[in-house]
Structure 1
Amino acid sequence: MTRVTLAQLEPAIALGPLDGRYRKDAAPLVDYLSEAALNRDRIHVEVEWFIHLNEQGVVPGVRALLDDEKQQLRDWAEAFDAETIAQLATFEAVTVHDVKAVEYAIKEALSQIGADDLSELVHFCCTSEDINNLSYALGIKGAVQDVWLPAAAKLIDQLAAMADELAETPMLAHTHGQPATPTTMGKEIAVTLRRLARQHARIAGTEFLGKINGATGTYAAHVVAAPGVDWPAVAKSFVEDKLGLTFNLLTTQIESHDWQAELYADVARFNRIAHNLATDMWTYISMNYFKQIPVEGATGSSTMPHKVNPIRFENAEANLEISCSLLDTLGETLVTSRMQRDLTDSTTQRNIGVAFGHSLLALNNLVKGLVRLDINTAALDADLDHNWEVLAEAIQSVMRAAFLKGVPGMDNPYEKLKELTRGHRVDQAELQSFVAGLGLPDEDAARLAALTPATYIGVAADLARAEVAAWRARA
């Protein structure tokens, strides 16, 4: 029997998971970081540059565009659809050049509205990279601000809700994997909330740079074609006022991409903190600190029906690792260009959407995993009650304070507690008996006698709620 060639089936089968299995999660990025979105932004940039130059009157004697002509041209650019994509493909099949295909498509649109007398103002004094860098900046800006940052904020919102709810829920801490000073689950979640919120703010403050200064960044063609024009000022007003980007005055043929590397480093850092969240939640689930709420009809294991696997957190781990690898590569590659230009950035930048896609998928999975968690206070309480020796820190700290006040018999408190607790369990009765025999002032002795692992949490609840309030005030 002849095997079917899957590559020839229609509709086309996706090679990668973001366009296949996980299409729903990654789909919002298609409007910003796909090849089609890049071409739509190229058309937008070219059209706006054409109108800007006409309005600036940089070439004497050129007639002004009519308001109706501007509107028709902008409407055509805004209506970018499958037909436009097919048109560009037809042009590119001849030109073997994607930006040239955009130029020809715009000239054809001008002809259709009766403005072909102005056609040579299209792509005026531009190198392809003038259009590309601005188009990528617009696409990345849109993807970050409209898709990725809201998804990241949704994750932080979920953490804020959990931190608030669990602010006072005591939990045995584990430093180096060993029982340690108790905390609260809410406070520990708030730590991650704060870390992610800080990175979110950095990413929200990203500057998206752009340039439009010719083949080697000198405005040489501009000055020869239209002398007497302040070309850097014309370019700056276009990049900042028309496109909403930050103008980069000094470049080679390419915009240097440093801002991209900075952004990808920040997103990768957010990813890695989120990865830490995923592994911690996975561990808390394995310790029975959280119970997972089963999804109706879902299968945890093909052979063990009792299992509810923490798959959302495991999926997030894997996708965050893939995203970070791509973001690291992007940042490393894009800041280097041989002399005035090489094309390594061209292929590299086509993977920006993939890097953000895996991050977006992971963030969505983290939220889905977190909302299906129930705190298991019985397991938390049992661990606390089984580890009274963690109060050794509290006892020796009170003894230190008493020693400093001149109370006799309070010397070497650490050593005394070490001898009592190191390497073996101490139950409530043994610990309280030890405290009773220390000779502490009555107030101190009473305070320690009332202390339990569950109440030895300091101001953890206050810290958690303060962080939740800070995020909500900002968001």
Structure 2
Amino acid sequence: MIRRNIFENISPLDHRYSLREEEYQDYKKYLSEKARIGYQLQVEAALVKVLAKREICPAEVAGELLEVVKDITVEEVYQEEKKTRHDIRALVNCIQKRVSDQAKPYVHFTTTSFDIVDTANSLRLKETSRELIIPTLIKLEKMLMDLADREKETVQIGRTHGQHAVPVTFGFTIAEYVSRLGNRIEEIGKKSQLLRGKIAGAVGAYNASHLFFDEPDEFEAEVLAELGLKAGSHSTQIVEPEYVTDFVHSIVSCFGVLANLSDDMRHLQRSEIAEVGEYFDKDQVGSSTMPHKRNPINYENVKSLWKEFMPRMITLYQDQISEHQRDLTNSASGRFIPEIVVGLLSAANRLIRVFSKLAVDYDNIKKNFTLNKEMIVAEPLYILLASYGHPDAHEAVRRLTLEAQESGKTLRELIPEKDELKAYLERFTARQREILANPEEYTGIAGKKTEAVIQKWQKKLKILGGV
């Protein structure tokens, strides 16, 4: 039995990002090395069940094998692998050591190593998605929906290229991520359902199983059905890699949405903006040398995790390449996929914690809006002038903005002074005049759009929750 202090582990995922016990218990159930071998044992068990149904092996033999696989430990498999230098052969040996001579021949019957490995990997990623990834992301999605709904009418300056643009609402700002995260949750669900297995033998041509079954692909389908999986359309020694590639892409692209959200929230915490703030515990420290600082560490951590795990998608693309029916160039790299999943879950759980205590500074939101409040009317003025026939409205308003900056007068003060604009201004409707007088109302349908996004994902989450 190997026992180590977690702080002597090598991966930060173990000694830093899985320290919360409740999260660690969830992660290890699906993504640990113990879980990996457990899923492989499930595949071996499914194989024996169908062999018994097909009357290839006696029912009592199947019963014996099914009991034994429950007791195999990761430690004994690793100990056996020291001798075999082959992980699946070690797994098989451990099973055979525990069963009768009558049962031994039916362990791993007609299968090759990657029938077990690829099928087990697909099974655990599918179950991890259903039981852990999607529920965690839905929890975060609901938090964002609540925030967007609460702030749907809170007027905020829009920003493009780091510059003040025209007004939106803070709820509209958050609704972008409600939509983007929702789409990624949906995509993860779809791609997890497409994960495939195989029981097709050494090169995928059913050579061994065809010795016993006229339709070995039907035998394969029965074994996989025991696990809730389907077969790939054409396997070699391995399942077509695109199923896992597409699934991991859905995970990584979701990670990108979390990183973008975190980046935006981090910028909104800048000293000169300060529209939102992370909750700080009374003993929390922001800087080792500047006691006054309250750094946006959680948002920065999420972006930092994304920077670590996003490039690993390149490895998945490289793992699409396997010479002929298979080579071993993905044997090491493929084992790191669970780390990508844990990285995403760690980031999502961190955002759940920080959004549960998010502070919105309405005074600073209003102050920042006021900074360029007078220039906001430039866009509606130009568009309205053009709509009433002004031949060069954009240039006319551009010159007005320059004059406002130079003269110290506001744009709204200069507008009625310009005789060349009066004929157009007289045709403006009462509502159009009101918007020019009150730039806060120039938010388009930001609030209505926010409501629509929330309603859409309220309906969809009811479906996604059952994936």
TM-score, shorter chain, exceeding 0.5? yes
Structure 1, gaps ≥5 residues long: 1-6, 404-409
Provide the rounded CA distance (Å) in 2 between the counterparts of 1:34 and 1:396. 61
CA deviation string 1:228-247 (max 9, x = no partner): 531111101221x2111121
Aligned residue number for residue 321 of structure 2? 336
Is 2:196 the counterpart of 1:209? yes
Is 2:260 the counterpart of 1:276? yes
Is 2:396 the counterpart of 1:416? yes
Matches within 5 A, 1:92-241: 92-111=81-100, 116-206=101-191, 207-224=194-211, 226=212, 228-239=213-224, 241=225
Q: CA deviation at 1:152?
A: 1.9
Contact 1:268 1:324 in 2 (8 A): yes
Change (3 A) 1:344 1:306: same
Aligned residue number for residue 458 of structure 1? 444
Aligned residue number for residue 247 of structure 1? 231
* Structure 1 SS opposite 2:454: helix
Q: How many residues align?
A: 446
Change (3 A) 1:424 1:176: farther
Contact 2:401 2:411 in 1 (8 A): no
Q: CA deviation at 1:92?
A: 2.3
Change (3 A) 1:23 1:423: farther
Contact 2:404 2:411 in 1 (8 A): no
CA deviation string 1:356-389 (max 9, x = no partner): 1222212222222323322222122222223111
* TM-score normalised to structure 1 length: 0.87
Provide the rounded CA distance (Å) in 1 between the counterparts of 2:414 and 2:163. 19
Aligned residue number for residue 51 of structure 1? 49
The one of 6, 13, 33 aligned to 1:18 = 13
The one of 393, 413, 416 aligned to 1:430 = 413
Q: CA deviation at 1:159?
A: 1.3
Contact 1:310 1:369 in 2 (8 A): no
Matches within 5 A, 1:247-266: 247-266=231-250
Contact 2:18 2:346 in 1 (8 A): no
Provide the rounded CA distance (Å) in 2 between the counterparts of 1:434 and 1:121. 94
Change (3 A) 1:11 1:156: closer
Q: Which amino acid aligns with 1:20?
A: H
Contact 2:388 2:427 in 1 (8 A): no
Aligned residue number for residue 314 of structure 1? 300
Provide the rounded CA distance (Å) in 2 between the counterparts of 1:290 and 1:431. 35
Contact 1:395 1:435 in 2 (8 A): no
Is 2:346 the counterpart of 1:361? yes
| Identical-pair percentage | 26
Change (3 A) 1:216 1:449: closer
The one of 334, 337, 341 aligned to 1:352 = 337
Q: CA deviation at 1:8?
A: 11
Structure 2, gaps ≥5 residues long: 462-467
Q: Which amino acid aligns with 1:155?
A: L
CA deviation string 1:41-86 (max 9, x = no partner): 11111111012111112x3xx43338xx63x654553456xxx223
Contact 2:188 2:247 in 1 (8 A): yes
Q: CA deviation at 1:469?
A: 1.4
Provide the rounded CA distance (Å) in 1 between the counterparts of 2:4 and 2:326. 40
Runs of 4+ more than 6 Å apart: none
Is 2:37 the counterpart of 1:39? yes
Contact 1:323 1:358 in 2 (8 A): yes
Provide the rounded CA distance (Å) in 2 between the counterparts of 1:257 and 1:133. 9
Q: Which amino acid aligns with 2:11?
A: G
Provide the rounded CA distance (Å) in 2 between the counterparts of 1:189 and 1:195. 10
Q: Which amino acid aligns with 2:69?
A: A
Q: CA deviation at 1:285?
A: 0.9
Change (3 A) 1:34 1:285: same
* Structure 1 SS opposite 2:99: helix
Q: CA deviation at 1:300?
A: 1.3
Q: Which amino acid aligns with 2:370?
A: D
Contact 1:162 1:189 in 2 (8 A): yes
Change (3 A) 1:424 1:342: farther
* TM-score normalised to structure 2 length: 0.89
Contact 2:6 2:14 in 1 (8 A): no
Provide the rounded CA distance (Å) in 2 between the counterparts of 1:416 and 1:357. 56
Q: Which amino acid aligns with 1:355?
A: I
Change (3 A) 1:278 1:134: same
Contact 2:377 2:439 in 1 (8 A): yes
Change (3 A) 1:319 1:209: same
Change (3 A) 1:48 1:292: closer
Provide the rounded CA distance (Å) in 1 between the counterparts of 2:200 and 2:51. 14
Q: CA deviation at 1:460?
A: 0.2
Q: Which amino acid aligns with 1:121?
A: Y
Query: Larger deviation: 14-23 or 369-378?
Result: 369-378
* Structure 1 SS opposite 2:103: helix
Aligned residue number for residue 406 of structure 1? none
Query: Larger deviation: 318-327 or 101-110?
Result: 101-110
